[in-house]
């Protein structure tokens, strides 16, 4: 009984897939938060090295992965695809469930797929130091690892609720040599402004981004790095879907539905984009992102121009958003607590090419426990949203009596998140639906563009 | 630059290597703790299923791995061998350093290699429930996983110092459905006796074994499981060395020295025995176990008959021992805190076929940090003893100007052990050498046999 599908050496992708030339229309411009005019690549130079700026707007469909990046990718790539035989049996479903497992990286998630190339392009550009933010700590630990490997300094603004809930992730960053600062902090104007209003602020990804952007923009030797949302991050993550597609091909399968959890969009884009590409060629694969009901960007937000951060320092992009001053509750899936979304994913959702669904926290933990007990691997709370989605699809297939092929991305392991499982078993977690009026209110603050 | 060596499907071992027929002499008898006479296989039936008892004494060199075990092994096997290019560069050594990485299992260590077959043989024997003990929690989490997969109940007596220091491992066991009890507990005579003398006892592996053995022996539906020491455990772990040997062969290499950390002996035997087999054929590969200086069984203990547990309920074996009532200090490498050692490893050390060295905790953490920052993977504190050994060998090779090939076993990742790294960076950890008189004193209590 074959459970694991390993990509042979000679089929490992050596290029990332850039979806921009295959988008359903031109990209919306990115707007400068100061001038409210479209940014030029030059405007972005204080924040990013030229290599990444080029990728952000490239119209080239396939982009070579540098050899030094491939050398480090080897530590965990190609990652395995597993057939979830035991879960299928527990669910008594006619569906075949496959999952791509990204938890085998040294940081335990998919994030190093982009952290490594980001550090690489910064290194060759001459950057000495990276400033970044992190939610759950998966991005922060990954960029710390990447900076360590390329000899860059690294400062991470970590959302305070995660800093306190996930001390192990902080320790991983420190072990990999990074300086970790709980956000909001008193190190930046943006942080001090928040603390002045609310000294007990839990923080949010939007605030931490403001702090990191301010830090990077104010120092010549420093550039900013973002672990999700941006086009070049989605580009790097496509290695996930490219591998998965080749792996399913090895066993003669192709998915009817492709599933990822959705926060900023990076792991989702990674598994999804190579399959979205097939839709343009008439393939009717469904591609679905599962987001937390407590931070329902794609399902209850609007598709509009908004700031990427809370302090209005980051560029303004057209994306699904709940408003840049939306403050999500402190749910455990810290990596999914972002008011916005990848502009690329947003455009695809708006065009009806990609679907989005919201799921509740308790149902996600229930799915994670069922998965851990049948498949063995303990998922990160973020990834549990994708498992919930996959299980629901498999149960639907059972109802309909259909032999569906389901592929989902298991973006990380949960070994560092056991406190969240403890809370779940202790009955300390609740479901949360954001009140309509709170969303309406934060949507009133969207910037006026064009 | 090739970093990772993946074993192709058709070279995956389908048999374990049993070293018993190749030992340098007959095995010493195992003694019944009550009668002080050699045990018969029947005497062991209250503790183990017949399949494992047969393996414990088998003279068959190769033993088939059951298909149901191979099916689950696929989740993480074959595990990768990595060439540590970046570490070699940092050390500026002419040595080639290879490491076999067992942290890719769902429990994050090598322990499932034996937990899965142990649960399997219990299942087909009719066992309903497993009682076991765990030190650091790596064995406990692995047997919990294995019991969950084969539908067995599981109770784990967890050494109290680890129960408190490693709450995440406890949570993993609970997620996989096990009942976890801090040891010494008031659930058993053995536990209550210890608590009566010392209510604040930190516990030890010896005490926890007593509790688990008592639990298993007192219930018909329950059998005992041990994660190390015993012959059948070493047998199951040989999959590590068998794979590693085939992987090095793929790149045309063979080790000059093979290294593992040593506690009870399971991961060490796993990497070592397939190479020890070659020594009988005239190959002069060195095989070295690295143990903590704070629990120096192989380097400062005696080779003698002793109880496997503190309460003298477990069988008496001839092995290196510090005495069954030796109480190691609460160092973080909880998995290496055992007064005894595998009888097979002990016999090989006594015969001069295998070497043993003791290393201090601070030097091990230093090596672990150097490894994390160059290779990326964060090691478990236990595994850091092997890294220290490998780095020392590589530095020696540099001094001698020799192109040595070093292979070590990286038995687990440290994502669940970040608190230990925090303590190390905070300067809270010390080196510890057990005073000579304390060892002499506990050695006075060895049983008289034959």
State how far the alpha carbon of B13 is from the alpha carbons of A52, B7, B20, B110, B287, in Å: 44, 10, 19, 16, 22
Chain B contact for A251 (CB, 8 A cutoff): no
- Give me the residue from B6, B171, B421 closest to A171, CB to CB: B421
Contact of B316 with B448, CB cutoff 8 Å: no
| Mean pLDDT across B427-440 | 87
Domain layout of chain A by residue ranges: 67-108+232-443
Rounded to 5°, angle at Cα B279 from B273 and B283: 130
Contact of B299 with B358, CB cutoff 8 Å: yes
Residues 396-435 on A with a CB inside 8 Å of B are 413, 415-416, 418-419, 421-422, 425
Of the listed ranges A336-340, B124-128, B318-322, the one predicted with least confidence:
A336-340
Does residue B61 carry a pLDDT above 80?
yes
Predicted pLDDT of residue A385: 97
Does residue B242 carry a pLDDT above 80?
yes
* End-to-end CA gap in chain B: 58
How far apart (Å, rounded) are the C-alpha atoms in residues B303 and B319?
5
Predicted pLDDT of residue B165: 78
The structure's pTM equals 0.96
Q: DSSP state, A43?
A: G
pLDDT tens profile B74-105: 999 999 999 999 999 999 999 999 999 999 99
Predicted pLDDT of residue A314: 87
How far apart (Å, rounded) are the C-alpha atoms in residues A158 and A169?
10
With pLDDT > 70 as the criterion, what percentage of chain B qualifies?
Answer: 98
Chain A contact for B251 (CB, 8 A cutoff): no
Give the minimum alpha-carbon distance from A207 to chain B in angstroms, rounded to a whole number.
27
Predicted pLDDT of residue B196: 97
How far apart (Å, rounded) are the C-alpha atoms in residues A321 and A317?
10
Give the minimum alpha-carbon distance from A146 to chain B in angstroms, rounded to a whole number.
9
Q: Give alpha helix (H) positions in B67-137.
A: 67-73, 85-91, 112-125
CB contact under 8 A, B75 and A82: yes
CB contact under 8 A, B75 and A377: yes
State how far the alpha carbon of A363 is from the alpha carbons of A216, A385, A431, B220, in Å: 39, 9, 9, 38
Q: 């999500």: which residue's tokens?
A: A328
Chain B contact for A44 (CB, 8 A cutoff): no
Does residue B333 carry a pLDDT above 70?
no
Q: DSSP state, A140?
A: H
Pull the structure tokens for residue B335: 């998995």
In chain B, whose CA is at the least distance from the CA of A72?
A: B3
Q: What single string gives the DSSP state of each residue in B44-72?
A: GTTTS-HHHHHHHH---SEEEPPHHHHHH
The torsion defined by the Cα of B325, B331, B334 and B335, in degrees rounded to 10, comes to -80
Which residues does B282 contact at the CB level (< 8 Å), separation at least 6? Answer: none
Q: How many CA atoms lie within 13 A of A327 on its CB side?
A: 9
For residue B286, the cross-strand partners are B257
Nearest to B304, CA basis, from B321, B285, B328, B282? B321
Predicted pLDDT of residue B31: 96
The pLDDT-based confidence of B366 (bands split at 50, 70, 90) is very high
Which parts of B122-190 are beta strand (E)? 129-134, 153-159, 179-183
Rounded to 5°, angle at Cα A245 from A14 and A105: 65
| Mean pLDDT across B422-428 | 93
Which residues does A392 contact at the CB level (< 8 Å), separation at least 6? Answer: none
How far apart (Å, rounded) are the C-alpha atoms in residues B295 and A245?
50
CATH domain A67-108+232-443 topology: Rossmann fold (3.40.50)
Q: Under DSSP, is residue A171 helix (H, G, I), strand (E, B) or coil? A: helix
Does residue A69 carry a pLDDT above 90?
yes
Most B CBs within 10 Å: which of A107, A175, A381, as the mutation test of the B interface? A175
Residues 133-172 on A with a CB inside 8 Å of B are 145, 148-149, 167-168, 171-172
Chain B contact for A380 (CB, 8 A cutoff): no
How far apart (Å, rounded) are the C-alpha atoms in residues B384 and B92?
20
- Chain mean pLDDT for chain B: 94
- Give me the residue from B6, B75, B378 closest to A376, CB to CB: B75
Predicted pLDDT of residue B166: 76
Predicted pLDDT of residue A348: 98
| Mean pLDDT across B290-315 | 93
Count of pairs with CB atoms under 8 A, one residue in A, one in B: 110
pLDDT tens profile B258-281: 999 999 999 999 999 999 999 988
Nearest to B77, CA basis, from B307, B239, B247, B255? B239
Chain B contact for A373 (CB, 8 A cutoff): yes
Task: Quickly count: other Cβ atoms within 10 Å of residue B208's Cβ.
Answer: 32
Does residue B350 carry a pLDDT above 70?
yes
ipTM: 0.95
Q: Which residues of B touch A375 (CB under 8 A)?
A: 75
Does residue A332 carry a pLDDT above 70?
no
Of the listed ranges A52-56, A387-391, B435-439, the one predicted with least confidence:
B435-439
The pLDDT-based confidence of A32 (bands split at 50, 70, 90) is very high
Residue B70 CA to its chain's centroid (Å): 21
CB contact under 8 A, A172 and B418: yes
Residue B328 CA to its chain's centroid (Å): 17
Q: 């469909």: which residue's tokens?
A: A61
Which residues does A360 contact at the CB level (< 8 Å), separation at least 6? Answer: A292, A293, A294, A431, A432
How far apart (Å, rounded) are the C-alpha atoms in residues A233 and A342?
9
């Amino acid at each position: 009984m074959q459970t694991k599908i390993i990509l042979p050496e000679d089929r490992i992708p050596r290029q990332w897939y850039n979806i921009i030339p295959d988008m359903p229309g031109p990209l919306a411009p990115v707007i400068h938060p100061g001038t409210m005019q479209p940014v030029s690549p030059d405007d972005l130079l204080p924040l990013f090295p030229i290599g990444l700026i080029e990728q952000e707007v490239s119209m080239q469909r396939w982009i070579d992965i540098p050899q030094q990046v491939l050398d480090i990718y080897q530590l965990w790539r190609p990652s395995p695809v597993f057939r979830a035989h035991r879960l299928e049996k527990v669910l008594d479903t006619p569906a075949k469930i496959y999952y791509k497992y990204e938890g085998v990286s040294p940081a335990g998630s998919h994030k190093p797929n982009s952290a490594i190339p980001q550090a690489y392009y910064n290194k060759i550009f001459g950057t000495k130091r990276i400033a970044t933010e992190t939610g759950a700590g998966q991005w922060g630990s990954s960029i710390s690892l990447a900076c360590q490997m390329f000899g860059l300094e690294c400062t991470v603004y970590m959302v305070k609720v995660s800093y306190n809930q996930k001390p192990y992730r902080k320790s991983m960053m420190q072990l990999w040599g990074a300086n970790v600062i709980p956000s909001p902090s008193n190190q930046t104007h943006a942080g001090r402004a928040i603390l002045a209003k609310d000294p007990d602020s839990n923080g949010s990804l939007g605030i931490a981004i403001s702090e990191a952007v301010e830090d990077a923009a104010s120092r010549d030797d420093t550039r900013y790095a973002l672990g999700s949302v941006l086009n070049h991050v989605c580009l790097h993550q496509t290695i996930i879907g490219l591998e998965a597609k080749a792996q399913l091909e090895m066993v003669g399968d192709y998915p009817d539905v492709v599933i990822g959890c959705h926060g900023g969009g990076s792991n989702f884009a990674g598994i999804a984009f190579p399959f979205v590409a097939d839709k343009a060629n008439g393939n009717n694969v469904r591609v679905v992102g599962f987001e937390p009901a407590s931070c329902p960007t794609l399902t209850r937000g609007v598709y509009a121009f908004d700031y990427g951060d809370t302090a209005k320092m980051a560029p303004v992009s057209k994306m699904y958003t709940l408003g840049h001053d939306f403050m999500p509750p402190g749910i455990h899936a810290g990596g999914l607590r972002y008011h916005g979304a990848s502009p690329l994913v947003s455009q695809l959702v708006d065009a009806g090419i990609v679907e989005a669904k919201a799921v509740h926290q308790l149902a996600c933990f229930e799915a994670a426990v069922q998965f851990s007990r049948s498949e063995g691997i303990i998922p990160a709370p973020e990834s549990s949203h994708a498992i919930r989605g996959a299980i629901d699809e498999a149960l639907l297939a059972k109802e309909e009596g259909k032999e569906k092929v389901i592929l989902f991305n298991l973006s990380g392991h949960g070994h560092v998140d056991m406190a969240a499982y403890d809370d779940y078993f202790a009955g300390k977690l609740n479901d949360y639906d954001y009140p309509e009026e709170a969303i309406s209110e934060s949507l009133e603050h969207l910037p006026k563009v064009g």
